[in-house]
């Protein structure tokens, strides 16, 4: 009979930190989070530990220090080349109430000369329309590696890269959504990564009160970022409500509130037809919600790059009106 206790798995300490009861559990330090994510990325964790870790984090909710530590571990392993990017635009939520008007904002901004990297994690929840499903329709280049990203940015100022091509371990964690029954913290972590070190990172965090945590994490990382509660969880200003901007730049945090652009709430469409986006882009149909959503989202991005709010809206209108010239 073997009476010698088996050694504890090295990752068990991180599960214990998060799960040791109401009084014993605590947040991980930034260094602990960096080490834990490093082990996850390096394949040094059992599947049972991965599931427990993700769900304990989900239940507790991540701290800014944990998010920063996770992001540092990921960035250290990316081996991404130096590619100039103006705006990092993560899209991980999918839309279910309104069309993804932000994709037209991106196209117009890219057509006006801004280099924009889009990245997403695929269709993980039923009943939502994801950016990946519209790339061909909207002629947004899909890139399989960093070389293709660089070429697409040079040619079109625009590139979409799936999370699975540059961080397959994170994509696997996202794909556990239907196994675990809940979205894991990786959905929000992916928004903060800014893998190519763009001049500014835009983030949309839907859950109230959590935007400030992401802003603090970006501050810890030394990034220039703006976090909003975008429509449906995507980086899209909802013109029917107040939009609060949580910004950080050069280590300083700032807040700004944009008023609603419409006096009445728009009725959501009965269905989401991507062809309506194309028709609107071509000027073949009108949509009051879409017009306000596109131009205010463009203004948000321009504001992040240094335009004052009023000037950003004027510049957004100018660039939108000139979009046909840049196709």
Which tens digit of pLDDT belongs to each residue from 184-214? 889 899 999 999 999 999 999 988 789 999 9
Pair 151, 285 in one domain? yes
Pair 53, 30 in one domain? yes
Going by the DSSP 8-state scheme, the letter that residue 129 receives in this structure is B
Give, for 204, the enclosing helix (H) or strand (E): strand 200-204
Residue 316, classified by CB atoms within 10 Å of its CB into exposed (0-12), middle (13-18) or buried (19+), is buried
Pair 155, 73 in one domain? no
Pair 306, 243 in one domain? yes
Q: Is residue 281 in a domain?
A: yes
Pair 64, 108 in one domain? no
**How many structural domains comprise the chain?**
2
Q: What is the pLDDT of residue 325?
A: 46
Pair 312, 288 in one domain? yes
Pair 34, 143 in one domain? no
* C-alpha–C-alpha distance, residues 143 and 155, integer Å: 13
* C-alpha–C-alpha distance, residues 16 and 19, integer Å: 5
Phi, psi of 258 (to 5 degrees): -100, 130
Q: What share of the chain is helix, strand, coil (3-state, %, to 5)?
A: 50, 10, 40
Q: Is residue 133 in a domain?
A: yes
Residue 175, classified by CB atoms within 10 Å of its CB into exposed (0-12), middle (13-18) or buried (19+), is middle
* CATH number of the domain within which 22 lies: 1.20.970.10
Q: Which residues span the domain enclosing 36? A: 12-78
- List C-alpha distances in Å: 274 to 99, 135, 229, 235: 7, 11, 23, 18
Q: Which tens digits make up the pLDDT trace of 13-42? A: 999 999 887 788 899 999 999 999 999 999
Pair 180, 231 in one domain? yes
* CATH number of the domain within which 318 lies: 3.40.1030.10
Q: What is the pLDDT of residue 122?
A: 82
Q: What is the pLDDT of residue 205?
A: 92
* C-alpha–C-alpha distance, residues 72 and 195, integer Å: 10
pTM: 0.94
Tens of pLDDT, residue by residue, the chain (327 residues): 567 778 889 999 999 999 887 788 899 999 999 999 999 999 999 999 999 999 999 989 899 999 999 999 999 999 899 999 999 999 999 888 889 999 999 999 999 999 999 999 987 777 788 999 999 999 999 999 999 999 999 999 999 999 999 999 999 999 988 888 877 889 899 999 999 999 999 999 988 789 999 999 999 999 999 999 999 899 999 999 999 999 999 999 999 999 998 877 777 777 788 889 999 999 999 999 999 999 999 999 999 999 999 999 999 999 999 997 444
Pair 142, 51 in one domain? no
CA dihedral 73, 227, 121, 206 (to 10 degrees): 120
């Amino acid at each position: 009979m073997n009476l010698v206790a088996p050694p504890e798995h090295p990752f068990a300490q991180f599960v214990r930190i998060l799960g040791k009861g109401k009084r014993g559990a605590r947040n991980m330090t930034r260094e602990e989070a960096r080490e834990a994510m490093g082990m996850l990325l390096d394949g040094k964790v059992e599947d049972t530990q991965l599931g427990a870790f993700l769900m304990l984090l989900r239940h507790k909710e991540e701290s800014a220090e944990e998010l920063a530590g996770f992001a540092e571990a990921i960035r250290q392993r990316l081996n991404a080349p130096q590619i100039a990017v103006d705006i990092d635009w993560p899209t991980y939520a999918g839309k279910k109430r309104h069309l993804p008007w932000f994709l037209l904002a991106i196209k117009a901004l890219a057509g006006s000369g801004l280099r924009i990297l889009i990245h997403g994690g695929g269709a993980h929840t039923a009943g939502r329309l994801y950016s990946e499903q519209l790339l061909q329709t909207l002629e947004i280049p899909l890139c399989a590696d960093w070389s293709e990203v660089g070429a697409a940015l040079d040619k079109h100022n625009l590139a979409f890269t799936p999370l699975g091509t540059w961080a397959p371990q994170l994509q696997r964690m996202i794909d556990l959504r239907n196994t675990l029954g809940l979205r894991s913290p990786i959905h929000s972590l992916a928004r903060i990564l800014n893998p190519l070190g763009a001049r500014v990172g835009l983030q949309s965090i839907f859950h109230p009160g959590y935007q400030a945590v992401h802003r603090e994490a970006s501050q810890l990382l030394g990034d220039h970022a703006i976090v909003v509660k975008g429509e449906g969880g995507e980086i899209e200003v909802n013109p029917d409500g107040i939009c609060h901007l949580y910004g950080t730049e050069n280590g300083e945090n700032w807040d700004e509130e944009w008023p609603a652009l419409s006096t009445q709430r728009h009725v959501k469409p009965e269905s989401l037809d991507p062809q309506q986006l194309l028709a609107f882009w071509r000027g073949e149909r009108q949509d009051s919600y879409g017009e306000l959503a596109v131009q205010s989202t463009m203004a948000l991005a321009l504001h992040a790059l240094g335009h004052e709010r009023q000037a950003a809206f004027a510049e957004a209108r100018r660039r939108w009106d000139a979009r046909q010239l840049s196709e």
